[in-house]
Amino acid sequence: MTTSTQAPRRTRIQQEKRELILEAALEVFSTSGFRGSTIDQIAEAAGMSKPNLLYYFRRKEDIHETLMERLLETWLAPLRELDDIGDPMTELRSYIRRKLEMARDFPRESRLFANEILQGAPRIMPLLAGELKTLVDEKAAVIKGWMRAGKIARTDPWHLIFSIWATTQHYADFDVQVRAVLGPNRGGDGRFEDAARFLEQLFLDGLKPKA
Amino acid sequence: MTTSTQAPRRTRIQQEKRELILEAALEVFSTSGFRGSTIDQIAEAAGMSKPNLLYYFRRKEDIHETLMERLLETWLAPLRELDDIGDPMTELRSYIRRKLEMARDFPRESRLFANEILQGAPRIMPLLAGELKTLVDEKAAVIKGWMRAGKIARTDPWHLIFSIWATTQHYADFDVQVRAVLGPNRGGDGRFEDAARFLEQLFLDGLKPKA
DNA sequence: GCAAATTTTGACCGATTGGACAAACGTTAG
DNA sequence: CTAACGTTTGTCCAATCGGTCAAAATTTGC
């Protein structure tokens, strides 16, 4: 029942301020990376002094660590939901849709994650090789089952998952590029619906013209 | 004939040392981003003292700028080659293959670019909205022509290009994650061939099972 | 071989970094 | 009211940051 790291007792103010700091840190870390961000930046974004911030989080790394722990849970939730019940093609389509919605609604979280991976994942490598790999292997097995049953085409399930991650997260991580290329008209709010339509077709039928 | 920024006269040593610095800076910038990298790191990686490095590049930004200029040229080359002559499906397939080869052979360049975009592209925004947008619009028109001719399925050409960028660059930018998830066996040198096979099928036929 | 030009170095600068600390301030239970 | 506790602030610190500069070492043109 009791975990080795017992939950520390926190006052109401502590809970509120910690939340405020994490929100500010997400903003700063996601656009500058860990090394490129300063405690001052985060403190200012959170509307408090640096020593005050350090009262709630003793080290810069503690903030980042807390942020990453929370992130991984919500980030992997859509994949966890991918289930064997229901039509495979529908399951995959709704997974893609959910991931795209997360790129739209939580772009900072996506960029925070991308920053960490880009820099060699020094702080979450164990999680990748452990929890993440286990989960992906598990879902890859589910997908393989679908292939054996002839429900979807036979391919590499791992690379299929990668391609879903890549295409959806692209709209969060490379957002400024996407908007720059699409221009003011096509790059407006509708770009996510356009992306959803395109990805649905790509993963369903590919590009080969219908005979 | 003469460009406004005339090519500065450089000695043999200058050319060699500048190259050495750029190579070292590519290594450092691509893993730590601009703000997260220090001149000392680059100098040490290049095997020289900081003041010595600053003799060849007066400011940290100058190194990054030079790197980004070169990068964009080679990075967009594959897309430039995408041409109207030849079979559309073959053209697209070889574009995907070339991009995947670049992710394999020049991962640092890919990560350097990703870092810059992730952080809001503060130093190359004009290039994205200018040169890059122009090129993509041009190629999107070519692809649209193929669709009108019934050579490939009708979809959004811009998002098609995005999806090719995303899926291929994923293997450079998220390399540590890809290898962690695939594990020591499947994550070895063969992962790029597996990826190539998967992507070819995805973009050709999608996932729908063959009737 | 020698003078001029180029390259390298060590010492240094002001600004910023992550973080420590004690004092001051605020809040609350008795 | 007051003592205990939680919160906030100003000040300070050593380390590191990007960058300068003059002097020393080296290379180059003749």
What is the greatest pairwise CA distance in chain A?
A: 68
A76 touches chain B (CB under 8 A): no
Residue type, B97: R
Please name the residue of chain A whose CA is at the shortest distance from the CA of residue B147. Answer: A209
Q: Which of A128, A183, A208 sits opposite B133 (nearest CB)?
A: A183
**CB < 8 Å to A36, chain B:** 32-36, 119
Closest CA–CA distance from residue A147 to any residue of chain B (Å): 8
Å from the A44 CA to the C21 C1': 21
pLDDT (0 to 100) of residue B140: 97
A52 touches chain B (CB under 8 A): no
Contacts of A209 (CB under 8 A, 6+ apart): B150, B151, B152, B153
Q: Report the C-alpha gap between A1 and A202 in whole angstroms.
A: 46
pLDDT (0 to 100) of residue A206: 77
**Protein-covered nucleotides on strand D (Cβ within 7 A):** 6-11, 16-22, 27-28
Q: What are the start-end ranges of the E strands in chain B? A: none
B153 touches chain A (CB under 8 A): yes
Q: Which of A128, A171, A181 sits opposite B177 (nearest CB)?
A: A128
Nucleotide nearest to B47 (CA to C1'): C8
Q: Report the C-alpha gap between B92 and B152 in whole angstroms.
A: 10
Chain segment A18-49, per-residue pLDDT in tens: 999 999 999 999 999 999 999 999 999 999 99
Global pTM reads 0.92
Residue type, B159: H
Residue type, A146: W
Instruction: pLDDT band for A1, please (50, 70, 90 cuts).
Output: very low
Q: Report the C-alpha gap between B127 and A180 in whole angstroms.
A: 9
Chain segment A149-207, per-residue pLDDT in tens: 999 999 999 999 999 999 999 999 999 999 999 999 999 999 999 999 999 999 998 77
Å from the B51 CA to the C10 C1': 10
pLDDT (0 to 100) of residue B4: 37
Encoded tokens for A90: 């529908």
Nucleotide nearest to A55 (CA to C1'): D7
Chain segment A93-132, per-residue pLDDT in tens: 999 999 999 999 999 999 999 999 999 998 899 999 999 9
Please indicate whether, in this complex, the C-beta atoms of B209 and A150 are within 8 angstroms of each other. Answer: yes
Question: For every one of its 211 residues, what pLDDT tens digit does chain B have, with 9 covering 90 and above?
Answer: 433 344 566 777 788 999 999 999 999 999 999 999 999 999 999 999 999 999 999 999 999 999 999 998 899 999 999 988 889 999 999 999 999 999 999 999 999 999 999 999 998 999 999 999 999 999 999 999 999 999 999 999 999 999 999 999 999 999 999 999 999 999 999 999 999 999 999 999 877 776 6
Q: Is the CB of B144 under 7 A from strand D?
A: no
Contacts of A4 (CB under 8 A, 6+ apart): none
Instruction: pLDDT band for A9, please (50, 70, 90 cuts).
Output: low
- DSSP string over A55-96: HH-SSHHHHHHHHHHHHHHHHHHHHHH--SSS-HHHHHHHHH
Phi-psi sector, B156: left (phi>0), alpha (psi -120 to 50), beta: beta
pLDDT (0 to 100) of residue A207: 78
Residue from B92, B123, B174 whose CB has the most chain A CBs within 10 Å, to mutate: B174
Residue type, A41: Q
Q: Is the CB of B13 under 7 A from strand C?
A: yes
pLDDT (0 to 100) of residue B11: 76
Q: Report the C-alpha gap between A116 and B174 in whole angstroms.
A: 10
Residue in the structure block whose two tokens are 């899926």: B167
Residue B12's CB is within 10 A of a number of other CB atoms, namely: 7
Please indicate whether, in this complex, the C-beta atoms of B159 and A198 are within 8 angstroms of each other. Answer: yes
Residue type, B31: T
Q: Residue B31 in contact with residue A119, Cβ under 8 Å?
A: yes
Residue from B160, B207, B208 whose CB has the most chain A CBs within 10 Å, to mutate: B207
Nucleotide nearest to B35 (CA to C1'): D17
Nucleotide nearest to A54 (CA to C1'): C19
Encoded tokens for A55: 């009262």
Counting beta carbons within 10 angstroms of the beta carbon of residue B91, is it exposed (0 to 12), middle (13 to 18) or buried (19 or more)? buried
Contacts of B50 (CB under 8 A, 6+ apart): B39, B40, B43
